[in-house]
Amino acid sequence: MFMLDFPLISSQMRLQIFPAKSNFLAVCGLLFASFTGLLPGQGDLGEIQKRSYSFNEAGKDIEYALYVPSGYKKAKAAPLLVLLHGLGSNPQQVIRYQGVTAEAEKRGYIVVAPFGYNERGWYGSRGKGNGGLLGGRAGDPENLGELSEKDVLNVLGIVRKELNVNSARIYLAGHSMGGGGTIHLGAAYSDTWAALVPMSPAYMGSHDILEKITAPMMVVTGDNDSTVPVGMVRPFARRMKETNAKHVYKEIAGGNHGTTFYRNPKLMAEIFDFLDGCSVEVEEGDESSQEPLRIFTNKSGRKIEARIVSSKGTKVTIARKDGKSFTIALSSLSETDQNYIQTWVAESATEP
C-alpha cells in the first residue's frame, strides 16, 4: 500500500507516493507565540498570504499560510479555521483546495494553514518522535512529532494575538495526515475547538481517543479511497457515533483520496455549513468577543435567548449561551427580530 497526498503546484495537482503501513484511519491547540508582525494591510485582505515566524525551540523560521477575508473588520470577531495538510504537502497547497477560500470569503472566516514543522511531522498524532517509516528522514529532529504539534499551537497563538478571533468559533480540519492530526489535537486540546473535520483521516491510534473529544466532528471519506481504505474508517465512524450523537459521518460513493477533496467546492460548502452550526461556550472573560445575547421570538411566539453568529441570504445562524447553534429562516422570526438582524448585517458591513 502507498500513502498518497496531493500537493497543488501552480494550480496543477502533483501526485507524490510514499510507503505506508496497512493500518490507517484519522484528524485540532492553544499556545501563544511571540510574533512581531503587523495587522494585515487592506491589500492583504482577500488574498492568500505566505508568512513565516521564528520558532525558537526549533531554531528556524517556519512557514504558514493565512487567508483573511476582504470583509474582515478589526472591531468584529471572526471565526477561524485551522487547516492541516497531508503527508508530502504544505500550507500553500491545502489552503488552495477548491472552495476553501471562496467559502471563507463569503462567510467571513479567517483560515490559517500551519506547516506542522515540515511536510511529514504528523502533528504529534504518531507520538513525539520522528515517525519512523512514514515520518522523519535523515536530518529531521528526533522530536519531530513534538515540534510538529507545537508549530500548530504557535500559529494558532499568532493569529489569535494579531487578529480579532471569535473564541467560540475556532475550528480544526485536515486531510489525510492532517486528518490524523485533527483527531489527535482535537482530543489533546478539546476545550479550544468548536468543531473538527477530519477528511480521509490517516489516524493509526486507539479509538479510545474519542472519549476525549468533546467538539462535534464531521468525518468525510470516499468508499474508493485506496490510500486510507474505507474499511479502516468505518469502524472508527461506528465508534464515533456511539460516543457522541453530534458527530457526523459522510461517505462519498466513488470518492478517492485526492480529487474528491481538492477539487470539490461543493463538499467544502457542506463542511462550512457544518462549521456554521457549531460554537462553544466561552469563559466569562471572552464574552466581549461575541455578539450580545438577546431574546428572539418566532412567529408562533416561542422565545429563545441567543446571539447572532452569521446571516446569509434568507437564513440566520444563532447560538444559545450553552453554545448550541441553529440555522433558521429569517421569515420564521418576528418582524422585530427580522429588522434587528437586517440592521446588524448593515452595521457589520460598515464597521471600521
Query: Model confidence over 83-140: pLDDT tens digits?
Result: 999 999 999 999 999 999 999 999 999 999 999 999 999 999 988 988 655 666 778 8
**Among the listed residues 331, 317, 236, 242, the one whose alpha carbon sits nearest the alpha carbon of residue 275:** 317
Q: State the chain's mean pLDDT as an integer.
A: 84
Give the H/E segment covering residue 156.
Answer: helix 144-162
Res. 216 pLDDT band, cuts 50 70 90 = very high
**Among the listed residues 155, 197, 153, the one whose alpha carbon sits nearest the alpha carbon of residue 63:** 155
Render pLDDT for 241-285 as a digit per residue (tens, 0 to 9).
Answer: 998 888 999 999 999 999 999 999 999 999 999 999 998 865 544
Is the pLDDT at 184 greater than 70? The verdict is yes
Cα–Cα separations (whole angstroms), residue 83 to 33, 36, 91, 210, 259: 18, 23, 8, 20, 17
At residue 35, the pLDDT reads 37
Res. 208 pLDDT band, cuts 50 70 90 = very high
Same domain, 147 and 203: yes
Q: Which of 3-12, 86-95, 157-166, 285-294 has the lowest mean pLDDT?
A: 3-12
At residue 158, the pLDDT reads 96
Give the H/E segment covering residue 5.
Answer: strand 2-5
Q: Which of 97-101, 145-149, 205-209, 243-247 has the lowest mean pLDDT?
A: 243-247
Is the pLDDT at 8 greater than 90? The verdict is no
At residue 37, the pLDDT reads 37
Residue partners of 105: CB distance under 8 A and separation at least 6: 46, 69, 70, 71
Same domain, 190 and 335: no
Res. 340 pLDDT band, cuts 50 70 90 = confident
pTM score of the predicted model: 0.73
Confirm whether 281 is domain-assigned: no
Residue found under cell 486528518? 179
Q: Answer with the residue of higher pLDDT: 312 or 275.
A: 275
Is the pLDDT at 27 greater than 60? The verdict is no
At residue 349, the pLDDT reads 58
**Among the listed residues 64, 62, 63, 66, the one whose alpha carbon sits nearest the alpha carbon of residue 39:** 66
At residue 302, the pLDDT reads 87
Render pLDDT for 31-61 as a digit per residue (tens, 0 to 9).
Answer: 333 333 345 555 589 999 999 999 999 999 9
Is the pLDDT at 303 greater than 50? The verdict is yes
Q: Which of the listed residues 276, 308, 326 is the one where a domain comes to its end? A: 276
Percentage of the chain lying above the pLDDT 70 cut: 80
Same domain, 272 and 306: no
Is the pLDDT at 17 greater than 50? The verdict is no
At residue 304, the pLDDT reads 86
Three-state secondary-structure class, residue 100? helix
At residue 136, the pLDDT reads 67
Q: Which of the listed residues 227, 244, 276 is the one where a domain comes to its end? A: 276
Is the pLDDT at 324 greater than 70? The verdict is yes
Total number of domains in the chain: 2
At residue 348, the pLDDT reads 65
Same domain, 189 and 313: no
From CA 264, how far away is CA 257, in angstroms rounded?
12
Same domain, 262 and 204: yes
Quick one: average pLDDT of 183-200?
A: 96
Confirm whether 284 is domain-assigned: no
Render pLDDT for 279-296 as a digit per residue (tens, 0 to 9).
Answer: 886 554 444 455 677 888
Handedness of CA 208, 209, 215, 216 (dihedral sign): negative
Q: Which of the listed residues 227, 252, 276 is the one where a domain comes to its end? A: 276
**Among the listed residues 92, 78, 48, the one whose alpha carbon sits nearest the alpha carbon of residue 167:** 78
Q: What is the CATH number of the domain that holds 325?
A: 2.30.30.700
Confirm whether 286 is domain-assigned: no
Same domain, 124 and 195: yes
Domain assignment of residue 156, given as a range: 2-276
Is the pLDDT at 4 greater than 50? The verdict is no
At residue 171, the pLDDT reads 98
Quick one: average pLDDT of 320-343?
A: 83
